Amino acid sequence: MDVLVTGATGFLGRRVVRELLDRGHRVRALVHTPGREALLPPGSVTVHQGSVSQPESLAAACWGVDAVVHLVAIIRRSKGASFDDVNRQGTANVVAAAKAAGGVQKLVHVSVIGAADNPALPYLQSKWQGEQAVVNSGVPYTILRPSLLFGEGDEFLNTLAGLVRVLPVVPVVGSGRNQFQPIAAEDLAKCVALALERPALNGQTIEIGGPQQISYLELLRLVARTLEKRRWRAHLPVWLMRLNVALLEKVQPRPPVTTEQLRLLPVRNVALLDSVERAFGFTPRPLEGNIDYIRSVGFGDGLRITLGFMPSRIRDH
C-alpha cells in the first residue's frame, strides 16, 4: 500500500515508518520541522513538508495514497500551538484532506487511553475530539488508544531516570499508586501496521497496553533498580506539586513534568491485560529487561532533564 504517515519523525512515528517499510509498504512522511527527515531511513521514504494546521500541505501529501496513519499530537502546549489547534483541528484537517484526495481507503488514528469529552482535561478532550473527526469521516478507520509508551528515546522513563540519577530524594505525586500499562513503541508500531492491513478491525476503537499493569511507585523502583541506585521518595500532595510545576513552567523551557501531565495522573491508564493478544494476536514485550537504554542517562543528562532541557541525544532514537 502507499501510506502517508503524519508525525513520522516522532517517537512512535519513526517506529511506524520502519515497520511499514519492513512489511513492504511504500511510505510517504509528513515532516513538520525541516531537517527532521534525517531521522528517517535514508532513501526509502518520500518526504512531504507540511503541518496539520496548513490544509494545502495536507492536500499534496494525501494525493495518491491508499491509507493514512495519523500520529500527530502534542501533549505540551507551546506559544504557537494549542491542543485544540493540533489535536482537534489538526486531525479534522487531516481527515478532510484524506477524504478530498479520493483514494484513501483506510485511516489509522492513534489516540490515547482516557480520551473523553471532559473540558477539565484539555489534552484528553482534544484527543477525543480528534477521534470524533475520524469516526464521522465516512472513511474506514481503526483507532488505537494506547497506555504509556516506552522505548529508546521515550520521555517518561528517561525523565524518571534523570531524576533518579540526580536527586537523592525523588518526588512522588500523592500516593503514587496510579496504574499504567506501558507498551513498547515497537509493539504499538506493529499494531498500527496490522490495523492498516486487517479490514476486520475497521470501525473499532481499541484500548491497548503492555503485558503488565504497574503503579508509578513500582515504575520508580524499577528505574532505580535498573540504574543500580537506592533512592528515598518524598510523597508530595497534589496541590504542592501543582504549585511547583506551575513555577517550573514559568522558568524552564521543557520542565520534566507539566501541569497537564499532573492532571492526567489520576486518570485510569490501563487496558485489558491481554488487549494486544485479543486484537492483534501477538504478545507485547514486558518492561522488565527492555529498558536498559535508560542506563545511558548519565549525571549530566539527569541535571539537564531536571533543569528542563531534555538532551536531543536521548530523545531522537
Q: Give the interface with ligand NAP as residue ranges (CB under 6 A).
A: 6-7, 9-13, 30, 32-33, 36, 51-53, 71-74, 86, 90, 110, 112, 146, 148-149
Give me the least distance between CB of 240 and ligand NAP, in Å please. 25
Q: Please, is 39 exposed, middle or buried when counting C-beta atoms within 10 Å of its C-beta (0-12, 13-18, 19+)?
A: middle
Q: Closest-CB residue for ligand NAP?
A: 10
Give me the least distance between CB of 234 and ligand NAP, in Å please. 25
- C-beta of 123 vs 201, nearer to ligand NAP: 123
Name the E strands within 53-192. Answer: 67-70, 106-110, 141-146, 149-150, 169-173, 179-180, 183-184
By residue count, the chain amounts to 317
- C-beta of 142 vs 232, nearer to ligand NAP: 142
Give me the least distance between CB of 84 and ligand NAP, in Å please. 12
Which residues share a beta bridge with 170? Answer: 233
Give me the least distance between CB of 123 and ligand NAP, in Å please. 8
- C-beta of 12 vs 191, nearer to ligand NAP: 12
Give me the least distance between CB of 249 and ligand NAP, in Å please. 18
- C-beta of 35 vs 237, nearer to ligand NAP: 35
Q: Which helix (H) or strand (E) covers residue 28, if one does? A: strand 26-31
Residue 54 phi/psi, 5-degree rounding, is: -120, 90
- C-beta of 75 vs 228, nearer to ligand NAP: 75
- C-beta of 13 vs 211, nearer to ligand NAP: 13
Give me the least distance between CB of 168 and ligand NAP, in Å please. 27
Give me the least distance between CB of 232 and ligand NAP, in Å please. 27
- C-beta of 169 vs 270, nearer to ligand NAP: 270
Contacts of 145 (CB under 8 A, 6+ apart): 111, 112, 113, 114, 115, 205, 206, 207, 208, 271
8-state DSSP, 205:
E
- C-beta of 130 vs 302, nearer to ligand NAP: 130
- Angle 188-193-194 from CA coordinates, rounded to 5°: 95
| Helix 185-197 / helix 11-22 crossing angle, nearest 10 deg | 50
Contacts of 69 (CB under 8 A, 6+ apart): 3, 4, 5, 6, 16, 20, 108, 110, 192, 196
- The alpha-helical segments, DSSP class H, found in 23-138 are 55-62, 83, 90-101, 122-135
Residue 144 phi/psi, 5-degree rounding, is: -110, 135
Distance CA 267, CA 250 (A): 25
Give me the least distance between CB of 252 and ligand NAP, in Å please. 18
